[in-house]
Structure 1
Amino acid sequence: MDQDAPRARERRLARIKLSDQVAEDIRRRIARDRLRPGDRLPHERALMDHYGCSKGTIREALKALEVEGLVRMVSGPNGGPEIQDASIDVMTQQLRQYLHFQKIDFGQVYELRTSLEVILARNVIGKLTEDHLRRLEENVRLCEQANSARDRALVRKAETEFHDILCEASDNVILVLMCRFLNSMLRDLVSYRSDSMREHELFGSHNIESHKDLLKAFRAGDAEAAAEVMRNHMCCAESFMRRLDASFNSDLLSRS
């Protein structure tokens, strides 16, 4: 038997598609040239000449970058590939796809969420604008109205949006990504097996009072008070989730 045969097969298996090589080189170019959202890449013909490959290969490479959310294709006579800002929605959907094949429970989620939301409460002190505070107050009023009307779906949705507004004020992009991801999971993927309206109303009332206390701490610029309220808020929220027999939907792959 030819001893070089296994190595030859390994080389064939390790061979990377030309379109993938082109896509990787474009990624390097974007990083090297420090291109920003709105900047344009060379048009299709220029890329074909530069890489010495076919139109189909270039289109396949650009399509891969478009699926990743790194570029978008602008139509028209002056169109072409344009750098676009990374979308949190795209990132969170990719994280959901990973978690779809894992076993997750609320203990894991709140072990992380409690820590992150306390950090977020401290982080936004002094960064919340009057517009942020006004929108937070409007959110609390919406929650009160929805809770009184027993609109469970609207209450649960609005509660997480309160925390999304806090994310807008944060300057820690990694913290924002993780908090927004957990908020989206709780908003979009949670179902409640308990139909106890009394428990849902109590949960809504707890969240409303906690959010009001947070607003007081934010307006006072009191980081310690905000952190303490948020810590208690997260612990109580987890307890209510368990009492309402909450569970994650089995389908984390579908877009919301």
Structure 2
Amino acid sequence: MILDDDAEAPPPRRIKLSDQIAEDLCRRIARDRMEPGQRLPNERALMQHYGCAKGTIREALKSLEVQGLVTMQPGPNGGAEIRPVSIDAAALQLRRFLHFRQLDFAQVYAVRRSLEVALGLSIVGRIDDDILQQLARNIDACQAAADAGDLARGRLLELKFHDILCDASDNALLAFMCRFLNSLLRDLVEFRSGSATEHEAFGAHNIDSHRRLVSAFRAEDAGAVEAVMHEHMCCAEHFMRRLDAAFHRDLLSGERA
């Protein structure tokens, strides 16, 4: 249907008062740099400030609770307590955004290739002994999974290796994006199984790459970190895109029906 120039545009959707209040409280939390454990004003104070009923305030606070920004403490001295937003809660919103969109490995690696290299370079010289030990234990666990033929566990552990690298980063945005992409890959790999032979070869490459990365991090060799991570990501992309193609080919043939 084509509207002529004189036709009236539909009126903008009216935003509920509780949603407006929830958004204003979000801005207040950010503006006042409120820390986890601090509390918002009680219901009565919020009712007076916004000039609305108790039900509206409770609806606004419930919205913040669902978003993971506050937790409601019971009792006469209770109220909305600021809580740290977990990576899982933040990633959930992005996952919901992507839920109704086609997502494949090519799209993920178009972003992951550069981000993982940037992450690796950003933590050269910043990885302490605890992180190095976690990485070494992870590699041992990957090898044990490979020896046992537990390919699915191996893939998850390999992604955990990259989560551990995020722990060493002081760039919150970079670490979050890398963790988020890792979570997407976990879902995609579990959904598309692939052949055992290809998984075994890919797992062997990952273990070797992870060992070389740990050595480069220990030596604080930025050039080696960049080169190994880039090669690692290119190999991972090649394997994942083959896995994606095989999955769609099976769908077309009806073998996964």
Tell me the TM-score range normalised by the shorter chain.
0.7 to 0.9
Matching residue of 1:123? 122
**Matching residue of 1:20:** 19
Structure 2 CA distance for partners of 1:159 and 1:50, relative to 1, 3 Å: same
Match of 1:253 in 2: none
Identical counterparts, % of pairs: 60
- SS class of match (1:72): strand
1: CA distance between counterparts of 2:196 and 2:247? Answer: 17
User: For residues 158 and 180 of structure 2, what CA distance do their matches in structure 1 show?
Assistant: 15
Matched, 1:159 2:191: no
Moved more, 39-48 or 214-223: 39-48
The answer for unaligned runs of 5 or more in structure 2 is 1-7, 249-257
Structure with higher RCO (Cα < 8 A, 6+ apart): 1
> Matched residues in 2 for 1:96 and 1:199: separation?
28
Confirm whether residue 238 of structure 1 aligns to residue 237 of structure 2: yes
Other-structure match for 2:69? 70
1:14 to partner: Cα distance:
4.6
Alignment CA distance shift 1:214-1:158 (3 Å): same
Does the residue aligned with 1:36 lie in a helix, a strand or coil?
Answer: coil
In 1, distance between residues paired with 2:40 and 2:103?
Answer: 41
Q: What pairs with 1:188-199 in structure 2 (closer than 5 Å)?
A: 188-190=187-189, 191-194=191-194, 196-199=195-198
Provide the C-alpha distance between the structure 2 equivalents of 1:67 and 1:116, rounded to a whole number of angstroms. Answer: 30
Distance 2:26 2:69 in 1: 9
In the alignment, is the contact (CA less than 8 A) between 1:105 and 1:247 conserved in 2? no
AA of the residue aligned to 1:37: P
Partner SS state of residue 81, structure 2 = strand
Shift of 1:197: 1.9
- Give the whole-Å Cα distance in 2 for the aligned partners of 1:129 and 1:112: 27
Residue 76 of structure 1 aligns with an amino acid whose one-letter code is: G
SS in 1 for 2:39: coil
The 1:203–1:14 alpha-carbon spacing in structure 2 relative to 1, beyond 3 Å, is closer
Mapping 1:217-256, distance limit 5 Å: 217-245=216-244
Aligned residues of 1:74 and 1:82 also touching (Cα < 8 A): yes
Q: Take 1:223 and 1:76, find their aligned partners in 2: how far apart are those partners? A: 54
CA positional deviation for 1:121: 0.8
| CA positional deviation for 1:171 | 0.9
Structure 2 CA distance for aligned equivalents of residues 197 and 15 of structure 1 = 54
Equivalent in the alignment of 1:83: 82
Cα distance in structure 2, aligned partners of 1:155 and 1:42: 48
Partner residue of 2:201? 202
Q: How far apart in 1 are the matches of 2:28 and 2:241?
A: 49
Deviates more, 1:43-52 or 1:131-140: 43-52
Code of the aligned partner of 1:217:
A
The aligned amino acid for 1:56 is G
Q: Secondary structure at the match of 1:73?
A: strand
